[in-house]
A and B are shown apart, each in its own frame.
Chain A
Amino acid sequence: MEKKAVKDFFFSFVLIALGIYCVIEGMRIYRVAAAAPYNITEFTISPAFLPVVLGVSLVLCSLALCIQSLKAGGKRLQENWHTYWMMAKKGLAPALRHRDTVSLVVGLAIIAVYTFLLLGRLPFWAASLLFLVPLMVYLRAAKPWKILVVSCVGIGLVYLLFQVAFKTSLP
């Protein structure tokens, strides 16, 4: 219960910041749209109107979430706001060191390399092979030869379905 309240408490600040940014960016859009060539001076018909409304709504909802998390945190947290920070600090270090977290970060890094670096620079089959094999090996999904076979069959089927049957071009 307390853990959840702490998470909500801190995330509500991120959301409030995002909402404020949307309002500020909305006001910038309004100023630009009010000038030539758009000349939209009426705020309600400006392209900034909905982003500002949504930004304000996000701030209000996030404030409500923040207040709720404070009230739901129980007496210990309500009496001392500092406790929130202490709990977050206390919980953060073990969470970051947890092997699932490390595994998640490494896995996402391999996916990011495939998405941002390999795709488009190498042929699809090569990029996918360079992605699938290391990721499955890291996850210890199966024996290496099995991983290689599965990867090749998977890539082959994708080629067959999209390139041959549907005549589409792959990245």
Chain B
Amino acid sequence: MISSYLGSAILTVLTPYNLVVLFLATLSGLIMGILPGLSATMAIALLTGLTYNFPTQSALIALLGVYVGSISGGCQSAILLNIPGTPASAATALDGFPLAKQGRAGFAIFLAETCSMIGTIISVVFVLTLTPLLTSFALKFKSWEFFLLTIFGIVICGTITAQDNVLKGWISGILGLLVAQIGLDTVDTFARFSYGNVNMMSGIALIPVMIGLFGFPEIAKAFNHQEENHVLRMSGFEVKQGFHLIGKHFLAIIRSAVIGVGVGIIPGVGEDTGGWLSYWASKTNSKNPETFGKGEPLGVISTETGNNACIGGAIIPVLSLAVPGSAPAAVLLAAFLMHGYRPGPLLMSESPAFVYQVSIYLVAASLAMWMLGLLVARGSMKLLGIKKKILMPLIYMLCAVGAYLINYNLFDVKVMFVFGLVGIVLSALSFPAAPFLLGVILGPMCDSNLRRALRLSDGSLLPMFTRPICVVFLVVIVFMVLAQFGVFHRKGATAGACEISKTENQGAE
């Protein structure tokens, strides 16, 4: 039965009409992903309306194509411009951009696109096998676990992205969490930090913050008189060496894919977290962690595998629970419903072929994405490699359009500008922007789950220390914080954080 479902799905995708739809949709997704400020969520949302009159199978192919394309496309601008096209590619910029600076942009793009494809395909294996099983683990996550998961994410992100001082990473994360407190709170609809402004009451939208934080410092660089023209020079893909490296790091790829799928399954935690966690795992396990952030190919490999594996992971709870694993998956769920599918616990009995169709279409989309991603790389290099003084004003216009289209509200464009200034200040003072962004992303989840948990326990924090998963999270968080303050340092606790910081600073210099 399963083979007939799979065979039928393969034949469906191979019809000329559907192949054209697949390639066009994936290309649209790639372009959306490449252009900074146009997110995967927006790409799917825009395409959902366009696919309204499509046959259902073609619409499904188009939606999955644009999803895969947009998540993967973000890596190209992250590598070429140091502006992640989507939040998912934020960690890719850490090593991708230094590689491009070294004149190996083509190599970095080849690694990123190939690992994106591999990550998606591995995640499909999980979609096929674990859809009925793995969701039971995610169901064990209640409010306390979700709250601690967000704190864990911020601490990890702050730790791995801070170049010279971990404190700066954590401060950046706290600032992001504070920004997420603006607006009506999700439990009591109490307006916080809104000052009577209706736009502020609805909260600060994520996309304008992301565009501002990551885009503005790059746009501002165009105002400098000394332009680095040599940065964006296209190089060959170094296919042979790329495949060799991928083969060499295959275990890291598998680990990143598993992390990506795991993160994707957890509702609300998206591709960006998957990318960051995979990056962190590879850095931690590396024999040369100091090379990360300076053009380490493994950084690109793990991030792109991890964030693309999240696609399959995020689809698992969509299919089995009708709960989206990420923001783009939430739009995808709405699109499924619009096309007459009813994801949820009854899906396997009502439409047993659906899971297999989704899986095959995901594989087809990832193959199309790989081919198109490499084909358009030179084009995107040319597009993004135009003189920065010409490109950046155009990019700002696109960023403004991207920010506006989220809610069709000019307030979001203004928010983007304000957070752009914040991004410039953070960048000038060596504060990483990524934990800030993650704080904004995870803030609502952090707040609502903490408040819900505290309500259920009548305001007591005690249950947090009695739940096994919580205890694991707490131990890891406390260990990471203490480790950064030198508690486990050989010299002993007296050495303190300052010694660590001094050593790091000297190393950096």
Q: Which residues of A contact B (CB under 8 A)?
A: 1, 4, 7-8, 11, 15, 18, 22, 25, 29, 32-33, 38, 40, 42-45, 47-51, 54-55, 57-58, 61-62, 64-65, 67-68, 71-72, 99-100, 103-104, 106-108, 111-112, 114-116, 119-120, 128, 131-132, 135-136, 139-142, 147, 150, 154-155, 158, 162, 166-171
Mark each residue of chain B from 132 to 176: 1 if its CB lies under 8 Å from any CB of chain A, else 0. Answer: 000000000000000000000000000000001101101100110
**Interchain residue pairs with CB less than 8 A apart (17):** A15-B171, A44-B459, A49-B450, A58-B178, A61-B174, A64-B167, A72-B501, A104-B220, A107-B222, A111-B219, A142-B387, A150-B394, A155-B397, A166-B49, A166-B50, A171-B400, A171-B401
Q: How far is the CA of A170 from the CA of B398 in the complex (A)?
A: 11
Assembly CA distance A116 to B502 (angstroms): 43
Is B187 in contact with A47, judged by CB distance below 8 angstroms? yes
Q: Across chains A and B, which 4 residue pairs bring their CB atoms closest together, nearest first?
A: A141-B389, A44-B459, A107-B223, A47-B190
Q: How many angstroms between the C-alpha atoms of A61 and B497 in the bound complex?
A: 12
Question: Taking the complex as formed, is B354 at the interface, i.e. its CB lies under 8 A from any CB of chain A?
Answer: no
Q: A15-B171, A61-B174, A168-B405 are in contact. Are A116 and B414 (CB under 8 A)?
A: yes
B244 sits at the interface (CB 8 A) = no
Given contacts A45-B451, A55-B178, A139-B389, 12 further A-B contacts (CB under 8 A): A8-B429, A45-B455, A47-B190, A58-B175, A62-B171, A64-B167, A103-B225, A104-B220, A104-B223, A158-B397, A168-B46, A171-B400
- A141 proximity list for chain B (CB < 8 A): 387, 389-390, 393
**Chain B, 403-453, CB within 8 A of any chain A CB:** 404-405, 408, 410, 413-414, 416-417, 421, 429-430, 446-447, 450-451
Residues of A within 8 A of B193 (CB): 25, 51
Q: How far is the CA of A42 from the CA of B187 in the complex (A)?
A: 14
B337 at the interface (CB under 8 A from A): no
Chain B positions within 8 Å of A115 at CB level: 400, 413-414, 416-417
Q: Which of A40, A111, A142 contacts B396 (CB 8 A)?
A: A111
Residues of chain A within 8 A of B454, CB atoms compared: 44-45, 49
Please, how many angstroms separate the alpha-carbon atoms of A162 and B402 in the complex?
10
- Least CB distance from B368 to A in Å reads 19
Contact B408 A169 (CB under 8 A): yes
Bound CA span A57–B400, Å: 33
Chain A residues near B429 (CB-CB < 8 A) = 7-8, 11
Residues of A within 8 A of B224 (CB): 100, 103-104
Cα–Cα, bound, A72→B502 (Å): 6
**Across the interface, which residues of B come within 8 angstroms of A106, CB to CB?**
223
With a cutoff of 8 Å between Cβ atoms, the chain A residues found around residue B220 in the complex are: 104, 107-108
Beta-carbon nearest neighbor of B394 in chain A: A154
**Residues 197-236 (chain B) with a chain A CB within 8 angstroms:** 219-220, 222-225
Q: Is the CB of B222 within 8 A of A139?
A: yes
What separation, in Å, do the CA atoms of A43 and B460 have in the docked complex? Answer: 11
The CB with the most chain A CB atoms within 10 A, among B187, B400, B450, B498, is that of B400
Q: Which of A44, A47, A48, A51 has the most CB of B within 10 A?
A: A47
Cα distance, A68 to B222, chains bound together (Å):
33
Q: How far is the CB of B107 from chain A (nearest CB, A)?
A: 30
CA distance A8 to B387 in the complex (A): 34
Select which of B187, B192, B223, B397 is within 8 A of A154 by beta carbon.
B397
Chain B positions within 8 Å of A29 at CB level? 190, 192
Given A45-B451, A51-B193: A166 in contact with B46 (beta carbons within 8 A)? yes
Q: What is the CB-to-nearest-CB distance from B221 to chain A, in angstroms, rounded to a whole number?
A: 9
- Interface SS of chain B: helix
Known interface pairs A1-B509, A103-B223, A155-B397; A71-B498 also in contact (CB < 8 Å): yes
A57/B187 contact (C-beta < 8 A), A64-B167, A103-B223, A140-B389 known: no
Complex: A141 Cα to B430 Cα, angstroms: 29
Contact yes or no, A65 B167, CB < 8 A: yes
> Smallest Cβ distance from B252 to chain A, in angstroms?
32
Q: What are the residues of chain B within 8 A of A140 when measuring CB–CB?
A: 389
B181 at the A interface (CB under 8 A): yes
* B174 contact set on A, CB distance < 8 A: 54, 57-58, 61
Contact A40 B188, CB 8 Å, known A100-B224, A162-B405, A170-B404: yes
Cα-based distance from A44 to B175 in the complex (angstroms) = 21
CA distance A1 to B376 in the complex (A): 43
**Nearest opposing residue in chain A for B28, CB measure:** A165
B450's closest neighbor in chain A, by CB? A50
A170 and B509: CB pair below 8 A? no
B177 at the interface (CB under 8 A from A): yes
Chain B residues with a Cβ under 8 A of chain A = 46, 49-50, 164-165, 167-168, 170-171, 174-175, 177-178, 181, 185, 187-188, 190, 192-193, 219-220, 222-225, 387, 389-390, 393-394, 396-398, 400-401, 404-405, 408, 410, 413-414, 416-417, 421, 429-430, 446-447, 450-451, 454-455, 458-461, 497-498, 501-502, 505, 509
Give the dominant DSSP class at A's interface.
helix
Q: Are A68 and B167 in contact (CB under 8 A)?
A: yes
* Inter-chain contact A49/B501, CB cutoff 8 Å: no
Across-interface contacts of A168 in B (CB, < 8 A): 46, 405
On whether the beta carbons of B400 and A114 are closer than 8 Å, the reply is yes
**Distance in Å from the Cβ of B193 to the closest Cβ of chain A?**
7
Q: State how many angstroms separate the Cβ of A33 from the closest Cβ of chain B.
A: 6
Q: How far is the CA of A104 from the CA of B46 in the complex (A)?
A: 34
Q: Is the CB of B188 within 8 A of A33?
A: yes
Closest Cβ–Cβ distance, residue A125 to chain B (whole Å):
11
Write the nearest CB–CB distance from A150 to chain B, whole angstroms: 6
Residues of A within 8 A of B497 (CB): 64, 68
Q: Which of A1, A42, A107: most chain B CB closer than 10 A? A: A107
A68 touches B46 (CB 8 A): no
User: What residue of chain B has the Cβ atom nearest to residue A111's Cβ?
Assistant: B396
Kindly provide the distance from the CB of A39 to the nearest chain B CB, expressed in whole angstroms. Answer: 10
A132 lies within 8 A of B397 (CB) = yes
Question: A61 near B501 (CB under 8 angstroms)?
Answer: no
